[in-house]
Amino acid sequence: MNNPKKESLSSVIYNSMVRNNLVLVLGTAIAPVIVVANTLKNAAILALTFSVITFFTMLLSSFIPQKLVYTVRVIIYIAIGALVYVPTAIIISSLFPQALQNMGIYFPLLITNSFIIFHSDTAFLTEKKGRMMLDLILGIIGYDIVVLIFGLIREIISTGEINGNVITLPILFKAFYQPFGGFILLGIFAAVLRGILLLIKKVSN
Amino acid sequence: MSELFRLISISLVLIFVENTVFTKAIDTSTLISVSRNRKNIFGFWLCAVYFSVVTGFLGFFADKFLLESGIKNEQTYIYQPFVYVAILGVVYIITLLILWKFFYKKFLKIKKFIHLSALNCAILGAMFLNSQNCTMLSEYIFRGIGTGLGFMFAIYITAIVYDRLHDASVPYCFRGYPLTLIYIGIISMAFYGLASTTVR
């Protein structure tokens, strides 16, 4: 993304995971977050599947020659994603038989997630391999952390439970369990992150 | 005649009631991105409808092939995405080649956004939803039309308020992306009330 020589490791981590967070800042692959991540367990499975598919797709895509026109290259990225999906689906379904049913069509749709289509060329695949890997891993971790926190809070406020364990809450917002609630809650999350970033900027100045 | 009305009503339901963006959140990322850059929005719309209809049409034969190939029903989900991506890829490449060969000026304009309108979750998602809900070829085609036009409708609804959502009078924390999500959420709530169906 930026010049690696001028950046310390902490600023690389901060930029990749927080300042350019895939979900809350760049708005990448938000459909499964809105629909699937309505409990902590579903969020964990989404984080796992997203991480595996995106990491291996981007890794293999980085070997595609950049000389090819992007309009053509992008279909190769998606074909790689579809290839990566097959073993991932077999492994995930054997480890978590219920997981694929819970995710429905959102699992295969990870193949065409906007991270692979939009951001692959603008950020990651134009970098050197080492830096690309670091940014990619940090970006994915940033996505996973947000998805897990989002799933946890959504489960608590909409069902009054954490992974099936009941918590006594004075009021429940069941609407947040639905996709429209997911949109609104994710919007609030994005606003909170922006507020935190603004606060950090003010403090550091 | 009644069959034609039924098929048209399938398309209308997919545009105004069970809109894939507002009820299933499919391809919200592309929606936000396209509504931000409204320069080529009409071309994007046309391309999205074209790909949705053509892949819907070919999806019928792909589903038939998968059904007859002897792959067990519970294993279809493993191979189905690969087949669909192959169809999408072939349609995409052939379209690019035709445009390049016969409409070169159009090709130069379209190549900036054609990958966004073709290779997105709305088109691939429509293929999966078709395979779950359709049995006849005509249903695949009309659902394809409905999904494409529904995606257009969702982009239009988001694009018309873009300036207001990004207005300087909106508090900085909510300006732009966060408020767009909340806005889509409120529209989605209205659609959800209309559809009153479960997702997936």
Q: How many CA atoms lie within 13 Å of B52's alpha carbon, on the beta-carbon side?
A: 31
pLDDT tens, B159-189?
A: 999 999 999 999 999 999 999 999 999 999 9
Contact between B77 and A108 using a beta-carbon 8 Å cutoff: yes
The first and second tokens of residue A29, run together, are 């692959």
**Chain A nearest-CA residue for B116:** A117
Does A27 contact B32 at a Cβ distance shorter than 8 Å?
yes
Average pLDDT over every residue of B129-134: 88
The angle formed by the CA atoms of residues B107, B57 and A110, to the nearest 5 degrees, is 75
Q: What distances in angstroms separate CA B156 from CA A34, A99, A111, B7, B83, one per listed residue?
A: 21, 35, 26, 24, 31
Q: Do A191 and B174 touch (CB under 8 A)?
A: yes
Residue A165 pairs with which residues in a beta bridge?
A162
| pLDDT per position as a tens digit, B67-86 | 887 776 667 778 889 999 99
Q: DSSP letters of chain B?
A: -HHHHHHHHHHHHHHHTS-HHHHH-TTHHHHHHHHH--TTHHHHHHHHHHHHHHHHHHHHHHHHHHHHTT--GGGHHHHHHHHHHHHHHHHHHHHHHHHHHH-HHHHHHHTTTHHHHHSSHHHHHHHHHHHHH--SHHHHHHHHHHHHHHHHHHHHHHHTTHHHHT-TTS-TTTTTHHHHHHHHHHHHHHHHHHH-----
Q: Does the beta-carbon distance from A79 to B174 stay under 8 Å?
A: no
Q: State the helix-helix crossing angle for B41-68 and B137-159, rounded to 10 degrees.
A: 150
Task: Say if B193 is an interface residue toward chain A (CB within 8 Å).
Answer: no
Query: What DSSP line would sit under A142-197, residue for residue?
Result: HHHHHHHHHHHHHHHHHHSEETTEE---S---GGGGSHHHHHHHHHHHHHHHHHHH
Minimal Cβ distance to B121: which of A31, A70, A85:
A31
For position B198, what pLDDT does the model report?
Answer: 46
Q: Give the SS3 label for residue A112.
A: helix
Block means of pLDDT (10 residues each) for chain A, length 205 residues? 64 89 90 93 93 92 84 87 92 84 87 78 70 89 96 94 86 91 96 94 88
Q: Closest-CA residue in chain A for B188?
A: A180
Reported as a single tens digit per residue, the pLDDT across B103-126 is: 888 888 887 788 888 888 888 998
The complex's ipTM? 0.90
The pLDDT assigned to B187 comes to: 94
Q: Would you say A187 and B178 are in contact if contact means Cβ atoms under 8 Å apart?
A: yes
Judged against a pLDDT cut of 80, whether residue B1 lies above it is answered with no
Contacts of B93 in chain A (CB under 8 A): 72, 75
Residue B130 has pLDDT above 60, yes or no: yes
pLDDT score of A63:
87
DSSP secondary structure of A37-93: TTSHHHHHHHHHHHHHHHHHHHHHHTTS-TTS-HHHHHHHHHHHHHHHHHHHHHHHH
- Whether the CB-CB separation of B53 and B141 falls below 8 Å is answered with yes
Cα dihedral sign for B136, B142, B148, B151?
negative
- pLDDT reported for residue B199: 45
Q: How far is CA A85 from CA A29, A102, A109, B28, B60, in A?
A: 16, 17, 10, 22, 22
Task: Characterize the bridge pairing of strands A165-166 and A161-162.
Answer: antiparallel
Q: At what angle do helices B177-195 and B137-159 cross, to 10 degrees?
A: 140
Residue B100 neighbours by CB distance under 10 Å = 15
Q: What is the DSSP letter of B70?
A: T
Residue numbers in B near A27 (CB within 8 A) = 28-29, 32-33, 177, 181
Q: Which H helix or E strand runs over A94?
A: helix A70-95
Alpha carbon of residue B37 to chain centroid: 18
- Phi and psi based region of residue B103 (left: phi greater than 0; alpha: psi -120 to 50; beta: remaining): beta
Kindly state whether B147 is in contact with chain A, defined as any CB-CB distance less than 8 angstroms: no
The structural domains of chain A, with segments of one domain joined by +, span: 4-204
pLDDT of residue A6: 65
Q: Which amino acid is at A77?
A: Y
User: Which residue among A28, A86, A179 sits closest to B78, beta carbon to beta carbon?
Assistant: A86
Q: What is the pLDDT of residues B29-53, one digit of tens each?
A: 888 888 877 777 788 888 888 999 9
Cα separation, A153 vs A176, whole angstroms: 10
Measured distance CA(A177)–CA(A165) in Å, rounded: 17
- Cβ-based neighbour number of residue A86 at 10 Å: 13
**Contact criterion met (CB < 8 Å) for B86 and A82:** yes
Q: Do A89 and B25 touch (CB under 8 A)?
A: no
The two tokens of residue B156 are: 């239009």
Q: Where are the domains of chain B?
A: 2-195
Task: Give the mean pLDDT of chain B.
Answer: 87
> Residue A37: what residue type?
A
Instruction: Say how far apart CA B28 and CA B24 lie, in whole Å.
Output: 9
Q: Which contiguous run of DSSP H or E holds residue B55?
A: helix B41-68
Distance to chain A for B8, nearest Cα, Å: 25
* Predicted local distance difference test score (pLDDT) of residue A125: 63
